[in-house]
Structure 1
């Protein structure tokens, strides 16, 4: 079962970049999108929308590998930390819920 949500994807508009790679992040909220962090189940497939982060265009290019800056392993850590921050924001916006 894939988790795909138009509401979660649309929620990225105007948000602050959560990846914030030093020297890379453009800080432009107008370029922020929901960037998938994990790997999908096959070549060219994206992971679920809950395994994603709010990322500016510059940070998105780095975590997706289109732009190579710094250590890719460190950039992955930035992305995973950002995913946790984004999940917290999604909980606050009630776009994801945890069963009680």
Structure 2
């Protein structure tokens, strides 16, 4: 898979998903794609505009590799991820995130 400008830009950025146990981002920050019906599926990654800058800890939770934090539900994790996508777009566009 080719690396896009947005994916390369993620390294060194703060985590914008901000779940409990977030490391804050930095060198472990990657672009975490938001799964949305019609834009993702088996073998189909969503476009990079549907991604959030996220640390490895938050990325593991949103991708289902780590358990959902106590007090959260799958829906609240998805909301945090979606808000992270909006913060990421604001950052990319030069707005305050």
Q: What range describes the TM-score normalised by the shorter chain of this pair?
A: 0.7 to 0.9
Task: Provide the rounded CA distance (Å) in 2 between the counterparts of 1:7 and 1:56.
Answer: 18
- Using the TM superposition, name which of 80-89 and 24-33 deviates more: 24-33
1:87 equivalenced with 2:89 (yes/no): yes
Alignment of 1:38-77 (within 5 A): 38-39=35-36, 40-70=39-69, 71-77=73-79
Unaligned runs of 5+ residues in structure 1 are 94-100
Unaligned runs of 5+ residues in structure 2 are none
TM-score, scaled relative to structure 1: 0.80
> Which 4+ residue blocks in structure 1 deviate beyond 3 angstroms?
none
TM-score, scaled relative to structure 2: 0.82
Taking only aligned residues, the RMSD between alpha carbons, in angstroms, comes to 1.9
1:23-70 deviation line (CA, Å, top 9, x unaligned): x20124111001101234431321000000000000000011111223
Determine helix, strand or coil for the equivalent of 1:30. coil
1:5–1:49 contact (8 Å) kept in structure 2: no
Equivalent pairs, count: 89
Task: Provide the rounded CA distance (Å) in 1 between the counterparts of 2:23 and 2:46.
Answer: 25
